[in-house]
Amino acid sequence: MGFQGTRRPDGKAGVRNHVLVLSSVSCANGVVNAIGRSLPGVKAVTHTEGCGRGLADVALSTRTLIGLGSNPNVAGVLLVGLGCEVIRVSDLAAAIAATGKPVECLVIQEQGGSQSTTRKGIEIARRLLEHADSLKREECGWDELILAVECGGSDAMSGVTANPLVGATADWLCGQGGTVILSETTEMIGTDHILARRAATPEVADKIKSLIRKQEGLADVHLGPFKTIAISPGNMDGGLTNIVEKSIGCIIKGGTSTIQEVVDYAEAPKRKGLIIMDTPGSDIFSVTAMVAAGAQIVLFTTGRGSPVGFPIAPVIKIATNTRLFSSMREDMDFNAGRILEGVGLSTAARELNELLTRVAAGEQTRAEANQQDILSLHTVGPAF
Amino acid sequence: MEESVLVIHPSDNVGIAKREIQAGEPLTGLQGSPIRARANIPASHKVALVEIDENRPVIKYGETIGLAKSKILAGDWVHTHNLKSERG
């Protein structure tokens, strides 16, 4: 048994049928938002990038935008550009069109301005919505699912209840031939020896070690004395003695499967099984990268209460404690706090897998119902 | 009364207090010989399940998270005062 998904022309399986209206550059955001206001059925996605950045950031943003459009949850794409920006809609469109899904482009400077582009965009997006609505779901295998795991707004119980629970689901999915992406390099500091031991090959082990070393160096340079934020007084008050203990509580959400591959920010994995992706620990940058790499569903644990979702992938919010689950009930999908109240980890994992199956088949998550459509493109250099 | 301690991995030598545990209180939710808390253990903090000699590993998640600074007795609160890190 797998899940009810929608087959794309490239053979991949989506769990949603979104029409994505996407800016290639922030100058097009006004038009994208106007199209979104007229057609609430589309996912109108804006961002702050597309021009005025160094080469590394242009490459990073381009890869991320192409990845978002190519994600199997997206049935059709309308790209909106300005005309004089660095990241051109035509380049994005050509790459996304390789998936076989419908991709359309509008350039504001060629369409005669904001209002003309908006009118034309509404027309095109309406056609894309009709196409998306006509698609039927079919049985898809778990080996076709890429699951992103994330923690944000963590508390002392994150590493005790919700993260081990998500880890159990991650192990189950890898066992079914599926794929799990574990990200947040900052949160891996102190666990390089553990992750490297689980690597499929010595090359993967070396990549893991150098990745974590690089991130620790970055933390030294950019955070200085604030580097200790990685093991803050709040962590200590919660009973975490050192960064190794704190970081194991974070990486446990990826489960304990063999690590097959290390990929760059927003890079699509070539292998199945457990994948490590190099991203910041900041959760919105991290989720953006994993979905751009093809993840269809996100499992997101939170102890303090993060409401964030993502525009084109359902985000399942898992509370680490019952108090949070009750106090932010409208944002939470699952209560891992019951693990402290006598519910076994295996029982909770079975229930989470059932929820995952329902969400894959179309059941709305709380973040979807709340329209918590939040995305951030990561940058590494200055603006010019 | 609900069990007071959760053990994450079968090879762990520390458990996690599910709620605040008072000194002298018997630890529940464990297999083996009965243990009493030797100090107040705050919620979500670690409690030793067995005796751990000085410089021996403290194990949580089935992994070494550090070494005992001094001998730790079963029922002791385990934190920065008696657990040293192997790295900075």
Predicted confidence (pLDDT) per residue in B57-78, tens digit: 999 999 999 999 999 999 999 9
Q: Based on the fold, state whether residues A228 and A119 are members of the same structural domain.
A: no
Task: Give the model confidence (pLDDT) of A256-273 as tens digits.
Answer: 999 999 999 999 999 999
Write down the pLDDT at residue A229.
Answer: 59
Q: Is B60 on the interface with A (CB under 8 A)?
A: yes
Q: Based on the fold, state whether residues A270 and A174 are members of the same structural domain.
A: yes
All residues of chain A having their beta carbon less than 8 Å from the beta carbon of residue B72 are: none
Inter-CA distances, A380 with A185, A218, A274, A279, Å: 14, 11, 26, 11
Q: Based on the fold, state whether residues A180 and A283 are members of the same structural domain.
A: yes
Write down the pLDDT at residue B85.
Answer: 85
Chain B residue with the nearest C-alpha to that of A242: B85
In a domain, A9, yes or no: no
Q: Are A89 and A79 in contact (CB under 8 A)?
A: yes
Q: Based on the fold, state whether residues A208 and A98 are members of the same structural domain.
A: no
Put simply, the answer to whether A245 touches B80 (Cβ < 8 Å) is: no
DSSP-assigned letter for residue A182: E
Q: Is A232 on the interface with B (CB under 8 A)?
A: no
Q: Are B85 and A242 in contact (CB under 8 A)?
A: yes
Q: Which amino acid is at A106?
A: L
Q: Is A303 on the interface with B (CB under 8 A)?
A: no
Put simply, the answer to whether A248 touches B63 (Cβ < 8 Å) is: yes
Put simply, the answer to whether A241 touches B78 (Cβ < 8 Å) is: yes
Q: Based on the fold, state whether residues A107 and A151 are members of the same structural domain.
A: no
Candidate from B42, B63, B66 with C-beta closest to A242:
B66
Q: Based on the fold, state whether residues A80 and A225 are members of the same structural domain.
A: no
Chain A: closest CA distance from residue B16 (Å): 8
Q: Is A213 on the interface with B (CB under 8 A)?
A: no
Write down the pLDDT at residue B2.
Answer: 73
Q: Which of B6, B65, B77 to mutate to probe the A interface, most A CBs <10 Å?
A: B65
The pLDDT > 70 percentage for chain A reads: 98
Q: Based on the fold, state whether residues A43 and A190 are members of the same structural domain.
A: no
**Final residue of a domain: which of A134, A167, A191?**
A134
Give every CB contact of residue A55 below 8 A, 6+ residues apart in sequence.
none
Inter-CA distances, A357 with A94, A229, A320, Å: 33, 36, 21
Write down the pLDDT at residue B1.
Answer: 55
Q: Is B52 on the interface with A (CB under 8 A)?
A: no
Q: Are A23 and A47 in contact (CB under 8 A)?
A: yes
Of A152, A221, A139, residue with least CA distance to A187: A152
Average pLDDT over residues A134-144: 97
Mean pLDDT of chain A: 95
Candidate from A241, A249, A339 with C-beta closest to B66:
A241
The pLDDT > 90 percentage for chain A reads: 90
In a domain, A6, yes or no: no
Write down the pLDDT at residue A231.
Answer: 63
**Final residue of a domain: which of A116, A134, A152?**
A134
In a domain, A223, yes or no: yes
Q: Based on the fold, state whether residues A223 and A126 are members of the same structural domain.
A: no
All residues of chain B having their beta carbon less than 8 Å from the beta carbon of residue A252 are: 61
Q: Based on the fold, state whether residues A185 and A304 are members of the same structural domain.
A: yes
Cα separation, A337 vs A29, in Å, equals 40
In a domain, A2, yes or no: no
Q: Are A19 and A62 in contact (CB under 8 A)?
A: no
All residues of chain A having their beta carbon less than 8 Å from the beta carbon of residue B16 are: 160, 239
**Dihedrals φ, ψ of A284, to 5°?**
-75, -40
All residues of chain A having their beta carbon less than 8 Å from the beta carbon of residue B45 are: 238-239
In a domain, A8, yes or no: no
Put simply, the answer to whether B85 touches A194 (Cβ < 8 Å) is: no
Task: Give the model confidence (pLDDT) of A78-109 as tens digits.
Answer: 999 999 999 999 999 999 999 999 999 999 99
**Final residue of a domain: which of A84, A108, A134?**
A134
Q: Are strands A297-302 and A146-151 parallel, antiparallel or unpaired?
A: parallel
Q: Based on the fold, state whether residues A212 and A309 are members of the same structural domain.
A: yes
Q: Is B57 on the interface with A (CB under 8 A)?
A: no
All residues of chain B having their beta carbon less than 8 Å from the beta carbon of residue A213 are: none
Mean pLDDT of chain B: 93
In a domain, A380, yes or no: no
Write down the pLDDT at residue A237.
Answer: 86
All residues of chain B having their beta carbon less than 8 Å from the beta carbon of residue A239 are: 16-17, 42-46, 79
What's the CATH code of the domain at A120? 3.40.50
Q: Is B31 on the interface with A (CB under 8 A)?
A: no
Q: Which of B4, B44, B45, B76 to mutate to probe the A interface, most A CBs <10 Å?
A: B44
Give every CB contact of residue A371 below 8 A, 6+ residues apart in sequence.
A309
Of B77, B29, B12, B17, residue with least CA distance to A248: B12
Helix (H, G, I), strand (E, B) or coil at A60: helix
Q: How many CB pairs under 8 A join A and B?
A: 62
Q: Based on the fold, state whether residues A180 and A293 are members of the same structural domain.
A: yes
For domain B1-88, which CATH number applies: 3.40.50.720, 2.30.130.110, 1.40.20.10, 3.40.50.2300?
2.30.130.110
**Contacts by residues B32-38 (CB-CB < 8 Å, ≥ 24 positions apart):** B35/B74, B35/B75, B36/B75, B37/B75, B37/B77, B38/B73, B38/B75, B38/B76, B38/B77
Task: Give the model confidence (pLDDT) of A210-237 as tens digits.
Answer: 999 998 888 888 877 766 656 677 788 8
Range of the domain at A247: 142-369
Candidate from A164, A243, A341 with C-beta closest to B8:
A164
Put simply, the answer to whether A339 touches B6 (Cβ < 8 Å) is: yes
Write down the pLDDT at residue A224.
Answer: 77
Cα separation, A150 vs A128, in Å, equals 31
In a domain, A130, yes or no: yes
- Number of independent structural domains in chain A: 2
Write down the pLDDT at residue A108.
Answer: 98
- If one compares B86 and A306, the residue with the highest pLDDT of the two is A306
Chain A residue with the nearest C-alpha to that of B47: A239
Q: Based on the fold, state whether residues A204 and A235 are members of the same structural domain.
A: yes
